[in-house]
Amino acid sequence: MDEERGARIGRLKWHCRRALLELDLIFERFWERHGDDLDTQGEAALTRLLELEDHDLWALMSGKEVTDDPQLMGMIERLREV
C-alpha cells in the first residue's frame, strides 16, 4: 500500500469511530474482515456514509431507512455482512 492510500485509509478508520457503540462494532468488524480489499469505489462510498450523523447512519444500517443510491447500498450491504 502506498503512503497516500495508507493515509486515506487511516483517516477513514479514524472517522469510523462513532458515538454509537453499535456502529463502532460494525466498523471494527468491517476493517478486520475487509480492510485489505477496500477499493477506491469502496473508499468513496464509505466516505459518503461517514458524512452522515450517527442516528441517520444507524437508520440505514438497521434498515429503518433506505437509500436509492446503488453505491451507498452496496457499502451498507457489505457492512451488514459483518
**Number of helices and strands (H, E) in the chain?**
5, 0
* Domain region containing 31: 3-81
When pLDDT is averaged across residues 39-67 and rounded to a whole number, the result is 95
Q: What is the CATH number of the domain that holds 18?
A: 1.10.150.250
Closest CA to 19 of 58, 47, 63: 58
62: Cβ contacts below 8 Å, ≥ 6 apart:
none
In this prediction the pTM is 0.88
When pLDDT is averaged across residues 46-65 and rounded to a whole number, the result is 96
When pLDDT is averaged across residues 11-24 and rounded to a whole number, the result is 94
How many domains does the chain contain in total?
Answer: 1
